[in-house]
Amino acid sequence: MNIEKFQDSMYELVVETSTNLPKDVRRAVKAAKEMESAGTRAAMSLATITNNIKMADDNVSPICQDTGLPTFKIKTPVGVNQIELKNAIQNAIAQATKDGKLRPNSVDSLTGENSGDNLGLGLPVVKFEQWEKDYIDARLILKGGGCENKNIQYSLPCELDGLGRAGRDLDGIRKCIMHSVYQAQGQGCSAGFIGVGIGGDRSSGYDLAKEQLFRSNDDVNPHEDLRKLEEYIMENANELGIGTMGFGGETTLLGCKIGVMNRIPASFFVSVAYNCWAFRRLGVKINPETGEIHEWLYQEGDKIDFGQEAEKETAATSETETKVITLKAPITEEQIRELKVGDVVRIDGRMYTGRDAIHKYLSENDAPVDLNGQIIYHCGPVMLKDEDGNWHVKAAGPTTSIREEPYQGDIMKKFGIRAVIGKGGMGPKTLAALEEHGGVYLNAIGGAAQYYADCIKSVDGVDLMQFGIPEAMWHLTVEGFTAVVTMDAHGNSLHQDVDKSSLEKLAQFKDRVF
Measured CA angle at 250 (ends 248, 256), to 5 deg: 105
Domains of the chain, by residue range, sit at 1-144+281-314, 145-275, 319-496
Of the pLDDT bands very low, low, confident and very high (cuts 50, 70, 90), residue 88 is very high
C-alpha distance from residue 53 to each of 149, 201, 303, 404 (Å): 23, 37, 12, 28
Of the pLDDT bands very low, low, confident and very high (cuts 50, 70, 90), residue 361 is very high
- CATH placement of domain 319-496: 3.20.130.10
Count CB-CB contacts under 10 A for residue 269. Answer: 22
Measured over the CA atoms of residue 368, residue 370, residue 371 and residue 375, the dihedral's sign is negative
pTM of the full structure: 0.93
User: Cα separation of 274 and 190, whole Å?
Assistant: 10
User: Cα separation of 147 and 470, whole Å?
Assistant: 17
Measured CA angle at 193 (ends 89, 228), to 5 deg: 120
Find all residues with CB under 8 Å of 57, minimum gap 6, and list them. 19, 20, 305
Of the pLDDT bands very low, low, confident and very high (cuts 50, 70, 90), residue 320 is very low
Average pLDDT over residues 19-41: 92
Pairing type for strands 158-160 and 164-166 reads: antiparallel
H helices of 157-295, where?
170-184, 202-212, 224-237
User: Cα separation of 147 and 183, whole Å?
Assistant: 12
User: Across 323-370, where does the E strand assignment appear?
Assistant: 324-327, 344-353
User: Cα separation of 176 and 139, whole Å?
Assistant: 28
Which 3 state secondary structure label does DSSP give 117? Answer: coil
The string of pLDDT tens digits covering residues 115-138 is 999 999 999 999 999 999 999 999
Average pLDDT over residues 331-336: 97
37 vs 499, more confident? 499
Which 3 state secondary structure label does DSSP give 113? Answer: coil
User: Cα separation of 434 and 494, whole Å?
Assistant: 14
Nearest to 495 by CA among 324, 248, 252, 250: 248
The string of pLDDT tens digits covering residues 406-433 is 999 999 999 999 999 999 999 999 999 9
CA 454, chain centre distance (Å):
19
Whether 379 contacts 402, CB under 8 Å: no
User: Cα separation of 112 and 18, whole Å?
Assistant: 25
Find all residues with CB under 8 Å of 312, minimum gap 6, and list them. none
User: Cα separation of 256 and 318, whole Å?
Assistant: 31
